[in-house]
Amino acid sequence: MSTSPTPSVSGPTIAAKLATFVADLTPQQIPAAVLERARHLILDSVGIAHASTHYDFAHRSLSAMTELSAGAGDTPVIGLAAKLSFRDAMLMNGILIHGLDYDDTHAAGVIHATASTFPCALGSAAQAGLDGEALLTAYVAGMEVGTRLASVAKGGFHQVGFHPTGLIGAFSCALVAGRLFGLNAQQLSMAQGITLSVASGSLEFLQDGAWTKRMHPGWAAVAGLTAATMARHGFKGPDRPYEGRFGVFNSYLGPLAKDCDLGLATAGLGEVWELAKVTVKPLPACHFTHACADAAAILRDRHSLRVADIAAVRALVPAEVVKTVCEPVATKKRPQNSYDAQFSIPYTVATALAKGRFGLAELDDAALRDEQVLALAAKVEYEVDPDSPFPTYYSGEVVVTLNDGRELRHREHINRGAAGRPISNADVERKFFENMQLVTSAARAAQVRDLVLAIDRDSAAVDVQRGLAARG
């Protein structure tokens, strides 16, 4: 049942309920399987962060962060030898984890929760002098909060141009940082109110392939840390950042706020673990493209398709993803950069039909200029999938019309990696090593893996932080 976000005059607020949960959560309350999956989600993010250091955006970001830190930083950065200030390192780590759009996703919330939550937990736990167990527990708490809050909107944030990873991530990071710095439940509640004025994340990058999405998770971590620190010092924020008249759902969603279900923000806290539903990406592109890319690759292999035989292609996608991966049409059919390509149904489908794969190599400049792929992308049109299970799953179907008039089709109703079709922990480790090989040796990759998978076993958070930085 949907409930429009309106002020409540009785009972604890959503912020108060979330604050109590985060303040009171103990490691013993978290099931062993959830903790194991949490370690592997962190491992996935660390591998992606290392891979990101191979690309130009990472080094341009580092230049900016180094300038902001003014040479006074002593906090290590994942996969790099540089040291930055405490907050700048958080931002940089978020950029690295999210920079390739290869990081995990919670389907119902449409949020990349680890990309903000882990940098915040890592930095805050190390700064506070805590151990790895405290780090991991705070990470799990933040994941539970962020995924639930994002789910309230039912995919609505994307429809009005906001990125829940940056927007909602700031609230969960306020709670993560607040817990690790010892805030009580009342202070944690206040921190969420302060966050309402510093949360952000625009989707305008979709128009021209701008890099701004890459900074959303790290900025969420910085915003959350800032709010938590101000609350710790007695700064006051609004009591109802979620259900209030100008709370996050009413203010950001406008008319779509009526479709929200505020009950999802706190449903099953401590009993149902949303972290277990977080999906790991098998492809380095927007999750909304995966089902169609996989369907295209399957059709190619099954029918030994040649690009020269293809007359036309139709891709069926959920209505809710059209603005993200199908429009503007001209940019999607002829991407100007890797980010355009990662958010393009025509490009990912055409690449999969032409090459039978979609990996990081397909985002290189040379791949983006492949005229055979671009000519095929020009033939790819989209239709709304009438049978889509979105947001539970990000379905996709590809229909290929051949020059001889035959029509071939394949549907991926449940996208690979989704909660109903999960990527195993063993698969996560394989993906981790594939990403790490871009920048380091197998022996070094194994060291990092062992460190992460033992993160809560007799490790100081500061040692984890140092261990994830580049050697040399």
Amino acid at 245: R
pLDDT at residue 472 is higher than 60: no
pLDDT at residue 72 is higher than 90: no
pLDDT at residue 187 is higher than 50: yes
pLDDT at residue 155 is higher than 90: yes
pLDDT at residue 265 is higher than 70: yes
Which pLDDT does position 1 carry in this prediction?
Answer: 39
Instruction: Spell out a b/e string for 344-383, using b for 16 or more CB atoms within 10 Å of the CB, else e.
Output: bbbbbbbbbbbbeebebebbeeebbebeebbebbebbebe
* 287-412: CATH topology: 60s Ribosomal Protein L30; Chain: A; (3.30.1330)
Between 122 and 471, residue with greater pLDDT: 122
- Delimit the domains of the chain by residue range: 14-279, 287-412
CATH class label, 14-279: mainly alpha
Select from 362, 370, 307 the least CA-distant residue to 334.
370
Instruction: Spell out a b/e string for 124-146, using b for 16 or more CB atoms within 10 Å of the CB, else e.
Output: bbbbbebbbbbbbbbbbbbbbbb
Select from 146, 142, 56 the least CA-distant residue to 99.
56
Q: What is the pLDDT of residues 427-470, one digit of tens each?
A: 999 999 999 999 999 999 999 999 999 999 988 999 999 999 98
Strand ordering across the sheet containing 407-412: 380-384, 310-317, 396-402, 407-412
Count other C-beta atoms under 10 Å from residue 196's C-beta: 22
Rounded alpha-carbon distances, angstroms, from residue 95 to 27, 85, 119, 361, 368: 28, 15, 10, 20, 23
Which pLDDT does position 208 carry in this prediction?
Answer: 85
Q: Three-state DSSP class for 409? A: strand
**Taking all residues of the chain, what is their mean pLDDT, rounded to a whole number?**
95
> How far is the C-alpha of 191 from the C-alpha of 174, rounded, in Å?
6
Among residues of the chain, what percentage have pLDDT more than 70? Answer: 98
CA 306, 307, 308, 311: dihedral to nearest 10 degrees?
Answer: 110
Count other C-beta atoms under 10 Å from residue 336's C-beta: 12
Q: Looking at residues 90-110, what average pLDDT do you find?
A: 96
User: Dihedral of CA 363/364/367/368: which sign?
Assistant: positive
Which pLDDT does position 420 carry in this prediction?
Answer: 87
Q: What is the pLDDT of residues 188-240, one digit of tens each?
A: 999 999 999 999 999 998 888 899 999 999 999 999 999 999 999 999 999 99
pLDDT at residue 149 is higher than 50: yes
- DSSP secondary structure, 167-194, as one string: HTHHHHHHHHHHHHTT--HHHHHHHHHH
Q: What is the pLDDT of residues 361-375, one digit of tens each?
A: 999 999 999 999 999
Which pLDDT does position 136 carry in this prediction?
Answer: 98
